[in-house]
Chain A
Amino acid sequence: MTAATDMTSLPAGGMVTRRAPKAGFDRLFRTASFTAALLVLVLLAGIMVSMVVGGWPAFREFGFGFITSTVWDTQNEQYGAWPAIVGTLSTALIALVIGVPLSLGIAVYLTQLAPAWFKKPVSTAIELLAAVPSIIYGMWGLFVFVPLFAQYVQIPVSNVVEGMPILGTVLYSRSPSGLGIFTAGFILAFMIVPFIASITRDMLEQIPSVLRESAYGIGATTWEVVRHVLVPQAGVSIIGAIMLGLGRALGETMAVTFVVGNANRLSASILDPGSTIASRIANEFNEAMGLQLNSLIALGCILFFVTFVVLCIARLLVSRVKRY
């Protein structure tokens, strides 16, 4: 296994005449590839530094209040991140609540239930769901899902829950347009499903079949095998896969921008329009100047640190699954 390291110390033998130019190429190649590898570290560090530096004027101006303030007023140059942070977290949470059961169901179906000939096409279809560009999900959401959702879910639900305690606040929408936090979360769910499902599938496939067979051998049903053998075995890495999906959901931009409604206010209802960090940046960036621009980059900085932590945890838990 140590061939490459040993090779450097090999005597050049009969190749004395050609030694000098080769050695030069060798050193050059080694340095070039090392530099390229270091560039990966530099990129991440660069993103971190540029976010902090670009957002610094906003952090300095508003201090900790930047995070907690709910005002986003371009006229009076008052910027607070709280509605966008809440929007980001709640859309991601809704996406997980819908997406995780879906993904786990798909992973179980693919590894335990699907007939052999059917596995490949289904796997491909699920993975193609990941290849569809984010903006196409946005188009589908805005032009197909939103009208249906408004007519068949939002209006009836609002009529039913109106005046009820708690539910009347959380599920009531003042203007049933179909746009809102819930819609964004719903679309996000389908965008993260392929990631969670395919990692979980890989995990379940790696579990030695002896374990499954012995569980079946003592008379367990398929559900019991999944529940008591497979899930505990894959446990931590499934959580890692979910965190990876969460990382995707937090930073997803285009699809959310189309359907979230882009309201600057914070609303108590999940059916009302809101905004996320990413959608607000995408919406306002090109017209922004001065402090507004800095505040948007500062929002990006918050998003960076949140996703960085989530993705770190995810990667530690999944630890090198084969993924592209």
Chain B
Amino acid sequence: MTTSTSASPRELPHVPWGRVRQGRRSADRAMKLIATGFTFCAIFVLFWILGMLVVKGIGGLSLATFTQVTPGPGSEGGGLANAIVGSFVLTFLGIAVATPIGVLAGTWLAEYGRKSQLANLIRFINDILLSAPSILIGLFVYVILVEPFRGYSGWAGGVALGIIAIPVIVRTTEDMLNLVPSPLREAGAALGAPPAVVITSVTWRAAKAGMVTGILLALARIAGETAPLIFTALNNNFWFSPSLVGGVSNLPVTIYQFASAPYENWQQLAWAGSLIITMSILVLSIVARRIVAGGK
């Protein structure tokens, strides 16, 4: 029996006499087929989703989408301008809240806390927050920022998104700082620089690319978050007030409200919004990945 079908280069050099029983061989074949099939199944779903977004969303994209505000019930036309701007404002508010806290906390874990028990506890809790359901974070911010102030606000939305972003930034900052070789720190210390100076002007600079990646990944993570915004920033069909008090329109909640609405222009806008948001996030994640790959 000379079969040369399954001999990929990483396996054993092919044995010229058949000693593999038929049953074992078919089990092996079946496993390979199933594993490959599953992988292509998942990739197929990704492209199915992207294809659906392009097919249904591209028709809704026009200049008006970016210049006009979201239409009220039953009114014609309209765009997503206020929702897009609102999403930008909320997302950057979230990142502005999360970046200093996340970077400092990650720095403490990597540079000061290290292997102490407290540092391990904080790491563990941070990992839990990393996968905590975002709806709970929305409820939490509702209880501490919306209920006491009697009203939805963009600030609450920004804080909710910030809380989701913090664990991502903590984790990447710590990982990236741990990659910086210790001799660099020691060299800084040998020049007489106190730890804070060593960290800010040596370690951070060495880890800069990785830390920026962490922030970009956090940005990608919160840009599409919907659940926490329902309880905090809510949504509306007008330009929001610059003080961000009251509902602040944003893309995810607009998509949520428009998608299953009975008005055709609303549905069209929901698809256009989905296309915009998904493509931005995918581009953001790919860019972030590129930076990591380039940094290595």
Contacts and interface: CB of A to CB of B under 8 A. Distances in A.
B129 A300 contact: no
Contacts of B255: 135, 139
Nearest to A311: B128
Nearest to B109: A37
Contacts of A163: none
A8 B103 CA distance: 21
Interface string B13-25: 0010001100011
Interface stretch (A99-107, A151-159, A170-178, A265-273): A99-107
A127 B292 CA distance: 14
Where chain A touches its partner, the secondary structure class is helix
Given A3-B189, A40-B125, A221-B28, A254 B105 contact: no
A291 B256 CA distance: 26
B34 interface: yes
Contacts of A14: 192
Given A125-B46, A126-B43, A134 B226 contact: yes
B295 interface: no
A251 B132 contact: yes
Interface string A98-131: 0001100110111011110000001011111101
B200 A29 contact: yes
Where chain B touches its partner, the secondary structure class is helix
Contacts of B277: 133, 136
B36 A34 contact: no
A105 B274 contact: no
B45 A144 contact: no
A63 interface: no
B124 interface: yes
Q: How large is the interface on A (under 10, 10 to 19, 20 to 34, 35 or more residues)?
A: 35 or more
A12 to B, nearest CB: 6
A17 to B, nearest CB: 12
A133 B170 contact: no
B144 A46 contact: yes
B49 interface: yes
A283 to B, nearest CB: 10
A320 B185 CA distance: 24
A135 B256 contact: yes
Contacts of B189: 3, 6-7, 10
A140 B57 CA distance: 12
With a 10 A CB-CB cut-off, give which of A109, A244, A297, A304 has the most chain B CB atoms: A109
Interface in B39-71: 39, 41-43, 45-46, 48-49, 52-53, 56
Interface in B185-202: 185-186, 189, 192, 194-200
Contact of A304 (B46, B136, B175, B223): B136
Closest 10 pairs (CB-CB, A-B): A251-B133, A133-B224, A105-B38, A29-B196, A36-B104, A221-B28, A33-B108, A36-B105, A253-B227, A223-B31
